[in-house]
Homo-oligomer: A and B are copies of this chain.
């Protein structure tokens, strides 16, 4: 493998928006970061100035890579995302230009899956609510502590999406005695769980929905008001996919009206904005898109990104290709 740090001149990599330190610090030693967002001359001029040398964009899951940007970079060969979701990258525009797109592959899968299970447990057994209850000093004043949650064992849990993350969640949740089922575009022959062809049927037959499919035009608001009503008053929704998979305004209404029981969300429609109505609810658990973030996962993704960047410049096959 070519180690680009041994080459006198580091290869250039376009960065459109700031990256987390834990990605930037190890990568900036090996590649020359061209930071469009810091350019004094403005982004467009910056892209124009460097257009002839930019072969690759490195981006987080929060960075839009749209058709206009792509059109300004005639030498662009590849967009390397350090996220699992690539919903902010215009994949059609990439396909048209034969620009390849890679994502984090399975680098975050286990940690994201674990966090999904954690959110499910937390909402069902009300752990964060209990923590807040004790911290407010309410236990001392109210020895006969309130009812906290309900058993996991026997709960029917429906997965929306059953990729790497969904399959890992399903396996782990099943070990708590839950009954698993799922919906995906087409039934998976090797999966032991019951399949429902529609999200509505899945919701009607489950106590918990776990949302972990990719965000596309088709899956936007896949959990809408009808789905939540089908899930019902005792129902819980967990979202570790992307915010727009759930119709957030309707989710707020359903929770306020007691039309569903609770929710655990690591993702939101307009991050980092969170609907203020959630702040006062003790039946929701809120999390700042941190499901994938552990030192271990980030080390995985840094390694994968370095390998892919090296592969681009060495014209070798890429890893975890999306497009």
Contacts and interface: CB of A to CB of B under 8 A. Distances in A.
Contacts of A286: 130-131, 134-135
A107 to B, nearest CB: 12
A315 interface: no
A296 B153 contact: yes
A70 interface: no
A128 B176 CA distance: 21
A229 interface: no
Given A288-B145, A295-B147, A114 B175 contact: no
A118 B131 CA distance: 12
Given A149-B294, A274-B140, A295-B147, A128 B131 contact: yes
A289 B171 CA distance: 29
Contacts of A290: 126, 130, 145, 148
Contacts of A128: 122, 127-128, 131-132
Copies of this chain present in the complex amount to 2
Contacts of A133: 288
Interface in A269-309: 271-274, 278-279, 285-290, 293-297
Contacts of A294: 125, 148-151
Given A151-B114, A154-B296, A295-B150, A134 B288 contact: yes
A115 interface: yes
Contacts of A288: 130, 133-134, 139, 145, 148
Interface of A: 18, 20-22, 110-111, 114-115, 117-119, 121-122, 125-128, 130-135, 137, 139-140, 143-145, 147-154, 171-172, 175-177, 271-274, 278-279, 285-290, 293-297
18 contacts: A21-B144, A114-B153, A118-B125, A119-B127, A127-B127, A127-B285, A131-B285, A134-B286, A135-B278, A139-B271, A139-B272, A139-B288, A145-B289, A147-B295, A148-B293, A151-B295, A153-B296, A171-B175
